[in-house]
Amino acid sequence: MSTPGTGQAPNPGIIFETFQAYHRTAAIKAAIELELFTEIGKGSHTAEAIAKGIGASVRGTRILCDFLTIMGLLSKEGDQYSNGLEASVFLDKSSHGYFGGAARFLLDPKLTAPFQDLAKIVRDGRTTLPDEGTVSYDNPIWVEFAEAMAPMQFMASLEIAGIVGGEGEMEVLDIAAGHGLFGIAIAQRNPAARVTALDWAHVLDVATENAKKMGVADRHTALPGSAFTVDFGGPYDVVLMTNFYHHFDMATCDGLTEKIFAALKPGGRCVTLDFVPNEDRVSPPAAASFAMTMLGSTASGDAYTFKEYDAMFSKAGFVASEKHALEKSAGTLIVSAKA
Amino acid sequence: MSTPGTGQAPNPGIIFETFQAYHRTAAIKAAIELELFTEIGKGSHTAEAIAKGIGASVRGTRILCDFLTIMGLLSKEGDQYSNGLEASVFLDKSSHGYFGGAARFLLDPKLTAPFQDLAKIVRDGRTTLPDEGTVSYDNPIWVEFAEAMAPMQFMASLEIAGIVGGEGEMEVLDIAAGHGLFGIAIAQRNPAARVTALDWAHVLDVATENAKKMGVADRHTALPGSAFTVDFGGPYDVVLMTNFYHHFDMATCDGLTEKIFAALKPGGRCVTLDFVPNEDRVSPPAAASFAMTMLGSTASGDAYTFKEYDAMFSKAGFVASEKHALEKSAGTLIVSAKA
C-alpha cells in the first residue's frame, strides 16, 4: 500500500509500537524496584547472575534485560548485559546521581490512574481526579513528591542557584517549596541569603529536614499554608516559583503573580522554573509533552509558552522577563524583574 | 556531570521519557475511541473544529492533538492539525486500511493489567494471570482477538498467501485460526484449496463468518477444539501455525510440532508466522520486544529465534526450514518441509 504522489509506504510499526509503549514504563519501573541496574553495577552480567542477585526468575530477568537493551538503557554483548551511561549514572543506587526513586512519585497509581480513560478526560476537559486534581487542598501526593523527586532535581537546583544566587543580603521566598532544594541551593551558595519556604505543613517537613541535612537550617524558615491564602510577608529580593504555575489556568496564575509582585522589593525578581514549550506547542518534545501530564492530573493546568508568561508578568507590573535554557533540566528558567 | 573517559554527558531525558511512555499508549487509545483521526480526515483541522466534531472539550482536544503531533501521528502548521501518513491510512475509519479496532484487543484491561506489577512477574517468571495466562482453556480474549485484529493482519495474510498459496488441489489446516484470515487468503488465491480451521468453538464462529463474507465458505470447514487434544484429521499439504508457538515453552512446542509432522503428507509444509528475533534477542526491535508481551501474559511463552525454530523442526523430522522476511508484518514466515 502506498499513498499516491508520495511514493512512501506507511509503516504500521509506529502504531503497534505506540499501543505497546506502556511496556516501557512497566519495564523501567520493575527494573528500579528490583534494583536490577544496581545489581549489574555490582558486577553481575549474565541473566543467570543478575536473576540470582535480585532474587528473580531467569526467564523474567532475561526478557526484561533484553527489553531494557532494546530501550537503550542496557547494552548487550553475547550474553553479557551492562548498564548504559544513563542507567549507570541515574539508576544504579550506588551512584551519587541516582534518582530511581522518582518512579515512586511519577508512577504513583494516583497519578497514572486517570490515563486509563484519557478519552473521558479529553471529552470533559479536566482530570477524572476530584476537585482540582493533584493540587487539591493538602493532597498527600506532594509529600511523596518532595521525598521522591529531590534527587532528580538536585543538579538543576545547583544550576539555578548559579544563575540567581548572587551575593550579599538576600531574602528569598520559595513558593510551593516541596523538597526545598531550589531555595536551599541558593542559601548554600550565598551565605547571606535567608529563605522562607512556603508549602502545606506536611510537605514543609521534608524541606525543613533537607535544610538541616544541607547545613542551612538557621537561614531556612517554614511558612506553612496555601500560596493562595497565606500572607507572604516580605518584602523579598527573590521569589521562587518552581514547577507551580503549570497546575493552574491563566486567570489563577495572574492572581498569584500580582500577589508575588506586591511581596517583592523594588528591583526584586520572580524566578520561574517551568516546562515552557515553543510557540508551536509541539517542541521541544519534553517541555511540550508536559501539557499532557497536566491534562491528566489537573482541572485546568497547562504548559505555557514564554509569550504567555511574558504577558502575564507584564500585566502584573514586571518590567522585563528573560528566559534561560537549562542544561540540567527540561525546564526553562524565566527571571522577571520589578522596577 | 560527565563520565570520565567518554566526554559524554548522560541525558536524564531518556529516563523521564520512559517513565511517561504510558502517556503515548493512553493518547493513541483515546484518539481512536474519540474517532479523532476520522474527524480530521473529514476536514476538521483546528482544535476548536475537531473538538466540536468529536464532542469533546477544546482544552483536552488541543493538548491531545499537540501530543499526537509530538508522537508523529499528526502534523501541525500554525493552528492546523493534519493526519500523518500512518494515521490517515490506519487510524481514519473511512480508510480501507483502518485497524484502530486492534486497540480493543491489544489494550484490553485483561492484557494490560499484569504490567501494573511487572516486578512480580519478573520475580516469579510468569504472568500474574491465572493458569496458562491468555492461553488458558477457552479464554474469551481470543474471540476479541479474532474480531479486533483481523484488519491489522489483513495485508500480511495476502502476502503470505502469495508465498504459500500455490496452485492445484491443496488441503490446508489452519491451527489456532482466530479470525481465519490466513487460511481464507489462501482459499481466495487458490480456488482448489480447502481449509480446515481449528480453534475453540467461540473463536471459530468469527473465522466461519469471515469465510462467508469473503466467499470461500464452501471450502472452509470448522474443527472446534484445542490444538493439543483434537484429532487433526488430514493428511494435509500445508499446516498454518500463525502467531501460536510463542505462547508456549519449547517442550510444548516440540510436542505440537510432532503432531503436525504426523498430519502432513509427504512433501507437505508447516508454515509458521511468528515474531522471530535475531540470535542476539534484542533486534529487530519489534520482533525482539514481543518476548515482553509473552512474559506479561503467559506462563512460559517467548519470542524464539530462527535457530530455535530450525532445531525444533529438525527434531520433529522436517528436512529443511526456510525463513522469509515479510513486508506487511513485523513477523517472519518460516516454511518447514517434510520429505
ipTM score assigned to the predicted complex: 0.95
User: Cβ A122–B17 below 8 Å, yes or no?
Assistant: no
User: Cβ B123–A60 below 8 Å, yes or no?
Assistant: yes
Statement: residue A60 has pLDDT above 50 = yes
- Please choose, from the candidates B64, B74, B14, the residue with its C-alpha nearest in 3D space to the C-alpha of residue B34: B64
User: Cβ B289–A19 below 8 Å, yes or no?
Assistant: no
Contact B167, B192 (CB under 8 A): yes
Facing residue for B115 by CB, picked from A26, A70, A122: A26
Contact partners, residue B134, CB within 8 Å, separation at least 6: B110, B111, B127, B141, B142, B247, B297, B298
**Length of chain B in terms of residues written:** 339
Average pLDDT across chain B, whole number: 94
User: Cβ B3–A330 below 8 Å, yes or no?
Assistant: no
pLDDT for B2: 41
User: Cβ B64–A292 below 8 Å, yes or no?
Assistant: yes
CA atoms within 13 A on the CB side of B234: 23
Average pLDDT over residues B144-160: 90
C-alpha dihedral sign at B186, B226, B245, B207:
positive
User: Cβ A29–B282 below 8 Å, yes or no?
Assistant: no
Binned at pLDDT 50, 70 and 90, residue B11 comes out as: confident
Chain B partners within 8 Å of A123 (Cβ): 34, 55-57, 60
Residue A214's CB: how many other CB atoms inside 10 A?
A: 15
Average pLDDT over residues B32-41: 98
**Chains A, B: CB pairs < 8 Å:** 268
Burial class (CB in 10 A: 0-12, 13-18, 19+), B306: middle
Statement: residue B34 has pLDDT above 80 = yes
Binned at pLDDT 50, 70 and 90, residue A8 comes out as: confident
Average pLDDT across chain A, whole number: 94
Nearest chain B residue to A14, by CA: B86
Statement: residue A119 has pLDDT above 60 = yes
Facing residue for B330 by CB, picked from A16, A152, A295: A16
pLDDT for A126: 94
Statement: residue A205 has pLDDT above 70 = yes
Least confident of A2-16, A129-143, A278-292: A2-16
- Please choose, from the candidates B76, B71, B4, B85, the residue with its C-alpha nearest in 3D space to the C-alpha of residue B31: B71
Nearest chain A residue to B126, by CA: A60
Binned at pLDDT 50, 70 and 90, residue B1 comes out as: very low
Contact partners, residue A321, CB within 8 Å, separation at least 6: A306, A309, A310, A313, A314, A334, A335, A336, A337
Amino acid making up residue B251 = A
Cα distances from B246 to residues B13, B272, B304, B314, in angstroms, run 34, 11, 7, 18
Per-residue cell: B105: 484487543
Binned at pLDDT 50, 70 and 90, residue A166 comes out as: confident
Which of B11, B17, B18 has the highest number of chain A CBs within 10 A, making it the mutation to test binding with A? B18
- Cell 516559583, residue? A241
Statement: residue A3 has pLDDT above 80 = no
Average pLDDT over residues A231-236: 97
Burial A93-108, CB ≥16 within 10 A → b, else e? eebebbbbbbbbbbbe
Amino acid making up residue A180 = G
Average pLDDT over residues B175-190: 97
Statement: residue A265 has pLDDT above 80 = yes
Contact partners, residue B7, CB within 8 Å, separation at least 6: none
User: Cβ A18–B25 below 8 Å, yes or no?
Assistant: yes
Binned at pLDDT 50, 70 and 90, residue A149 comes out as: confident
Quote the CA–CA distance of A316 and A330 in Å, as a whole number. Answer: 26
pLDDT for B7: 58
Contact partners, residue B325, CB within 8 Å, separation at least 6: B332
Facing residue for B89 by CB, picked from A10, A21, A119: A10
Chain B partners within 8 Å of A10 (Cβ): 85-86, 88-90, 97
What is the three-class DSSP state of B338? coil
B247-281 pLDDT, tens digit per residue, is 999 999 999 999 999 999 999 999 999 999 999 99
pLDDT for B296: 96
A317-338 pLDDT, tens digit per residue, is 999 999 999 998 899 999 999 9
Binned at pLDDT 50, 70 and 90, residue B192 comes out as: very high
**Length of chain A in terms of residues written:** 339
Quote the CA–CA distance of A288 and A283 in Å, as a whole number. Answer: 6
What DSSP string describes A34-98?
TTHHHHHHTT--SHHHHHHHHT--HHHHHHHHHHHHHTTSEEEETTEEEE-HHIIIII-TTSTT-
Average pLDDT over residues B198-207: 95
pLDDT for A300: 95
Least confident of A8-17, A188-197, A290-299, B217-226: A8-17
Contact partners, residue A149, CB within 8 Å, separation at least 6: A99, A102, A105, A178, A179
CA distance A93 to chain B (A): 15
Contact B47, A48 (CB under 8 A): no
Least confident of A8-12, A25-29, B111-115, B297-301: A8-12
Maximum separation of any 2 CA atoms in chain B, in Å: 71
User: Cβ B89–A1 below 8 Å, yes or no?
Assistant: yes
Statement: residue A4 has pLDDT above 50 = no
Binned at pLDDT 50, 70 and 90, residue A5 comes out as: very low
- Cell 522476511, residue? B325
pLDDT for B166: 83
Average pLDDT over residues B289-302: 96
Statement: residue B143 has pLDDT above 90 = no
pLDDT for A328: 87
B225-256 pLDDT, tens digit per residue, is 999 999 999 999 999 999 999 999 999 999 99
Nearest chain B residue to A31, by CA: B119
- Please choose, from the candidates A253, A202, A197, A254, the residue with its C-alpha nearest in 3D space to the C-alpha of residue A230: A197
Amino acid making up residue A13 = G
Contact B171, B185 (CB under 8 A): no
pLDDT for A7: 58
User: Cβ B116–A26 below 8 Å, yes or no?
Assistant: yes
pLDDT for B67: 98
pLDDT for B126: 94
User: Cβ A118–B29 below 8 Å, yes or no?
Assistant: yes
Contact B331, B305 (CB under 8 A): no
Average pLDDT over residues B158-173: 94
pLDDT for A338: 98
